[in-house]
Amino acid sequence: MPELAEVEYYRKRWDCGRGEEILRVQAHHGKRVFRGLAVAQLKKELTGAVFTRSEARGKQLLFRFSGDRWLGLHLGMTGKLSAAPPDFHPGKHDHLVLYQRARALVFHDPRVFGRVRFASQSTAPPWWESLPSAITSREFTRQRLASFLRRHRKLSIKPTLLLQSGFPGVGNWMADEILWRAGLEPRRAAGSLSGNEVRALWRSLRFVCRGAMNHVSTDFSDPPRGWLFHARWKPGGHCPIHHTVLVRESIGGRTTAWCPHCQRRALPGLCF
């Protein structure tokens, strides 16, 4: 479930524990979220460490602790972070719990597609450092977008937007929202976009990412009225602009909702 803004929302759920020591770590070796990880070492090295700060990049989360300890989290499809009272008893899907004096920091993930990483080193771990720059950053230029689309020219634009190496944080609902606003058919090949269409896509990417961060990341409220978000999951949902019935189909293996009126090749697009 969590995309860009939801991930940022969950990151902040642990902010209340900043500056405080981890007294005890609850983690069960063998749970899927710990795949490839030495859980005993994580427990040992995080115990006694002070949680200092955290950051989100796309769907990736990195929590820093004193003593050069780094905890990486990915929330997968159903992951959530929360702060609970210090006497919290973990349930079946509470895979990692960091106990502090005043609270418990909980990582909960029923579907177990999420992932925990851990590193003990003076600089941020390599997997973090090599993440692409944010869509809302200065580095995300139209030229960079165009070259990414060229590299994946045979792939439909919808699954292209889901590639985290190019569009960090974009998930299924954001991709549909972005294409709708850019006026692009989701099945178009990434390499088939004209200059104007690339420009529209770039603007739409920035608009949707900024909007999602502003509206969703602080309190998990829904995006504003008029966003496709509100219509896309209802069968028979209507385009917020033209009230056309949305098409729902699987594209690149994911359910896609789109407006056959707005998202047509002959139209200039830009339903802002």
Partner DNA sequence: CATCTTGTTACGTT
Partner DNA sequence: AAACGTAACAAGAT
Radius of gyration for the alpha carbons in the chain, expressed in angstroms and rounded = 20
Check residue 32 for interaction with DNA (CB under 7 A).
yes
SS3 state of residue 137: coil
DSSP codes joined into one string, 124-193: --HHHHTSPPPTTSTT--HHHHHHHHHHTTTSBHHHHHT-TTTSTT--HHHHHHHHHHHT--TTSBGGG-
CA dist., res. 72 & res. 207, Å (int): 28
Beta bridge partners of 257: 248
Dihedral (CA of 139, 169, 74, 106) sign: positive
> How many angstroms separate the Cα of 131 from the Cα of each of 7, 69, 150, 170, 180?
15, 19, 20, 14, 27
Q: Which one of the spans 94-102, 134-142, 156-164, 194-202 is the region binding DNA (CB under 7 A)? A: 156-164
> 166 and 148 in contact (C-beta within 8 Å)?
yes
Taking the complex as a whole, how short is the minimal distance between the CB of residue 50 and DNA, in angstroms? 29
* Closest alpha carbon to 272 in 207, 209, 196: 207
Q: Which one of the spans 44-52, 147-155, 178-186, 239-247 is the region binding DNA (CB under 7 A)? A: 147-155
Q: Which one of the spans 132-140, 148-156, 179-187, 236-244 is the region binding DNA (CB under 7 A)? A: 148-156
Return the residue of 50, 131, 155, 270 that touches DNA, per CB under 7 A.
155
- List residues with catalytic annotation: 2-3, 59, 254
Tokens representing residue 93 in the block:
């899907």
3 vs 45, beta carbon nearer DNA:
3
Check residue 16 for interaction with DNA (CB under 7 A).
no
Check residue 247 for interaction with DNA (CB under 7 A).
no
φ, ψ for residue 93 (rounded to 5)?
Answer: -105, 10
- Per-residue mark of binding to DNA, 157-196 (x: CB under 7 A): --x--x-x------xxx----------------x------
Taking the complex as a whole, how short is the minimal distance between the CB of residue 247 and DNA, in angstroms? 13
CA dist., res. 130 & res. 137, Å (int): 15
Check residue 6 for interaction with DNA (CB under 7 A).
yes
> 49 and 41 in contact (C-beta within 8 Å)?
no
Taking the complex as a whole, how short is the minimal distance between the CB of residue 168 and DNA, in angstroms? 8
- Per-residue mark of binding to DNA, 65-104 (x: CB under 7 A): ---------x-xx--------------xx-----------
159 vs 211, beta carbon nearer DNA:
159
Taking the complex as a whole, how short is the minimal distance between the CB of residue 28 and DNA, in angstroms? 12
Check residue 230 for interaction with DNA (CB under 7 A).
no
- Rounded to the nearest angstrom, the gap between the alpha carbon of residue 175 and the centroid of all alpha carbons in its chain is 12
CA dist., res. 99 & res. 244, Å (int): 51
Q: Which one of the spans 9-17, 138-146, 199-207, 246-254 is the region binding DNA (CB under 7 A)? A: 246-254
Tokens representing residue 215 in the block:
């509206």
* Closest alpha carbon to 155 in 141, 173, 167, 138: 167
24 vs 151, beta carbon nearer DNA:
151
26 vs 172, beta carbon nearer DNA:
172
| Positions that interact with DNA (CB under 7 A) | 1-3, 6, 32, 58-59, 74, 76-77, 92-93, 110-113, 115, 151-156, 159, 162, 164, 171-173, 190, 233, 250, 252-255
